[in-house]
Structure 1
Amino acid sequence: MELGMIGLGRMGGNMAQRLIKSGHRVVGFDPSTERVKEMVRLGVIGAASISELIDKLVSPRAIWCMVPSGQPTEDTVHELGGLLSPGDTIIDGGNSNYKDSIRRAGNLAEKGISFLDAGTSGGIWGLDEGYSLMVGGDADAYRRIEPVFRSLAPSSEKGVGYVGPSGAGHFVKMVHNGIEYGLMEAYAEGFELLRAKADFNLDLTQIAGIWRYGSVVRSWLLDLVELALKEDPGLKNIRAFVEDSGEGKWTVQESLDLDVPLPVIVAALQVRFRSRQDQPFGNKLLVALRNKFGGHRIKTE
Structure 2
Amino acid sequence: MIDGGNSRYTDDQLHAAALAEHGIGYVDVGVSGGVWGLENGYALMAGGDAAHVEALLPVFDALRPEGPREESFVHAGEVGAGHYAKMVHNGIEYGVMQAYAEGYELLEAKDIVTNVPGTLRAWSRGTVIRSWLLDLLVKALDEDPALAAIDDWVDDSGEGRWTVDEAIENAVPLPVITAALFARFASRQPDSPALKAVAALRQQFGGHAVKPAGS
**TM superposition score normalised by structure 2:** 0.96
Q: CA RMSD in A?
A: 1.0
Cα shift at 1:201 = 4.4
Highest relative contact order (Cα 8 Å, sep 6+), 1 or 2? 2
Cα shift at 1:138 = 2.1
Corresponding residue of 2:49? 138
List runs of 5+ in structure 2 lacking aligned partners: none
Quote the Cα distance in structure 1 between the aligned partners of 2:145 and 2:76: 40
Quote the Cα distance in structure 2 between the aligned partners of 1:172 and 1:102: 15
The structure with more strand, counted as a fraction of residues: 1
Which one of 251, 271, 276 corresponds to residue 183 of structure 2? 271
Cα shift at 1:294 = 1.5
Task: Spell out structure 1 runs of 4+ moving beyond 3 A.
Answer: none
1:212-223 map, 5 Å: 212-223=124-135
Matched to 2:106, the amino acid is L
Q: 1:65-94: CA deviations, max 9, x gaps?
A: xxxxxxxxxxxxxxxxxxxxxxxxx10110
Matched to 1:211, the amino acid is W
Which one of 102, 118, 131 corresponds to residue 189 of structure 1? 102
Corresponding residue of 2:76? 163
Aligned 8 A contact 1:204 1:229 in 2: no
Which one of 103, 115, 127 corresponds to residue 203 of structure 1? 115
Aligned 8 A contact 1:105 1:114 in 2: yes
List runs of 5+ in structure 1 lacking aligned partners: 1-89
SS of residue matched to 1:297: coil
Q: 1:276-299: CA deviations, max 9, x gaps?
A: 111010011111111111211111
Corresponding residue of 2:159? 247
Q: 1:124-155: CA deviations, max 9, x gaps?
A: 00111110000001221111111110110012
SS of residue matched to 1:236: coil
Cα shift at 1:237 = 1.1
Larger radius of gyration: 1
Quote the Cα distance in structure 2 between the aligned partners of 1:109 and 1:293: 64
Corresponding residue of 1:45? none
Which one of 9, 18, 41 corresponds to residue 107 of structure 1? 18
The alignment of Structure 1 onto Structure 2 pairs a total of residues equal to 211
- Of the structure 1 ranges 211-220 and 201-210, higher mean CA displacement relative to structure 2 is found in 201-210
Which one of 170, 173, 185 corresponds to residue 86 of structure 2? 173
Using the aligned pairs only, state the percent identity: 53
Matched to 1:230, the amino acid is D
Quote the Cα distance in structure 1 between the aligned partners of 2:95 and 2:177: 5
Which one of 220, 236, 247 corresponds to residue 148 of structure 2? 236
Which one of 192, 195, 204 corresponds to residue 283 of structure 1? 195
1:39-50 map, 5 Å: none
Q: 1:161 to 1:201 in 2, by over 3 A?
A: closer
SS of residue matched to 2:26: strand
Quote the Cα distance in structure 2 between the aligned partners of 1:295 and 1:232: 43
- Of the structure 1 ranges 151-160 and 187-196, higher mean CA displacement relative to structure 2 is found in 151-160
Corresponding residue of 1:123? 34
